[in-house]
Amino acid sequence: MPNNLGGAIIRSGFSKKEVARLKGITPQTLSRVIHERINLNIQDVEEYAQILNCKPQHILFKTEPLPVIGYGHIDKAGNFFRNFNTDVIKHEIYCHNNFTVDTAVVMWSVDEAYDGPWYNRQGAIQFVKYSPVSENFVCRTGYERTVTAKINDDHGTIISGQLFPEPAGKYTVHTPWPGETATRRNLDLLWATPVMALSYRPDLSNIEIVEI
C-alpha cells in the first residue's frame, strides 16, 4: 500500500536510523516499509505519527510540496524588497489544507530593527496562484485586486499592488501601502498573479516549512 512515511521522516528532521530505533525495528525493515514492500497497519501508522510528531494522515497520504517562488523582506526603514531568483530558493512548503491546487508561496521576513505596521510579516507566507508565474501570463482574475507581478524590464522587477488593464496590452499597478507607495502606469508585464491569502502564523495553520 502506498505511503508517505519517507516524506514524513524527512520533514521531521529525524534520521531513518533514529526512527527505526524509536520504533523498535531494524533500519532494513524501516527501508522496506518506506519502499512499500511491507504494508502498514493502523497501529504502525499511529506509532510512526507519534514518533514523528505528525498526524496519521501525513503518514498515509503523499503530499506534494507547494513551490516557493520567492522571498519578500522589509528592511528597518520599512522598504520592501523581493527576490524571485530561483537560485536562492531554499525551502519547500507542505500545506495540509485547502491551498494545494495551482498554488505557490512567497516567504516573508522583517528586519529586527523595524517597528512599523508590517512587523507581523516576519515569518509569514503568502499564497498566490502558480500558473501565471510558471506559464508567464497576466491572470485576468487579478484585475482590480491585489497581485504580485513581474515587469518585463532588464531587472525582472517584482512589484505588488492593485492591477488595472490599459489599452494595447499594458497595465497599471497601484501600490497604496506604506513602504512602497506608487502608481506605475504603462507597464509591460511578464506575469501577474492574484494574491490569495497571507498566513501570519504558518506554524498554527497546519503548514510545514522545510529547508532544502
Nearest to 175 by CA among 189, 162, 188: 162
Overall fold of domain 68-211:
Umud Fragment, subunit A (2.10.109)
Contact 99, 93 (CB under 8 A): no
Q: What is the mean pLDDT of residues 10-33?
A: 93
Contact 55, 49 (CB under 8 A): yes
Which of 29-33, 128-132, 181-185, 202-206 has the least mean pLDDT?
Answer: 202-206
pLDDT of residue 121 exceeding 70: yes
Which residues are registered as beta bridge partners of 107?
A: 71, 125
Interatomic CA distance for residues 14 and 27, integer angstroms: 13
Contact 12, 53 (CB under 8 A): yes
Q: What is the pLDDT of residues 139-198, one digit of tens each?
A: 999 999 999 999 999 999 999 999 999 999 999 999 998 878 899 999 999 999 999 999
For β-strands 80-83 and 68-74, DSSP reports them as antiparallel
Q: Which SS3 state, helix, strand or coil, does residue 70 take?
A: strand
pLDDT of residue 1 exceeding 80: no
Give the pLDDT band (50/70/90) at residue 85: confident
Task: Name residue, grid cell 491569502.
Answer: 197
Structure confidence at residue 179 (pLDDT): 75
Q: Where are the domains of the chain?
A: 5-60, 68-211
The domain 5-60 belongs to what CATH superfamily? lambda repressor-like DNA-binding domains (1.10.260.40)
Interatomic CA distance for residues 93 and 12, integer angstroms: 13
Structure confidence at residue 87 (pLDDT): 83
Q: What is the pTM of this model?
A: 0.76
Q: What is the DSSP string of 94-139?
A: EE-SSTTSSEEEEEEEE-TT--STTGGGTT-EEEEESHHHHHT-B-
Structure confidence at residue 96 (pLDDT): 65
CA 156 to chain centre: 21
From the number of C-beta atoms within 10 Å of its C-beta (0-12, 13-18, 19+), residue 163 rates as: buried
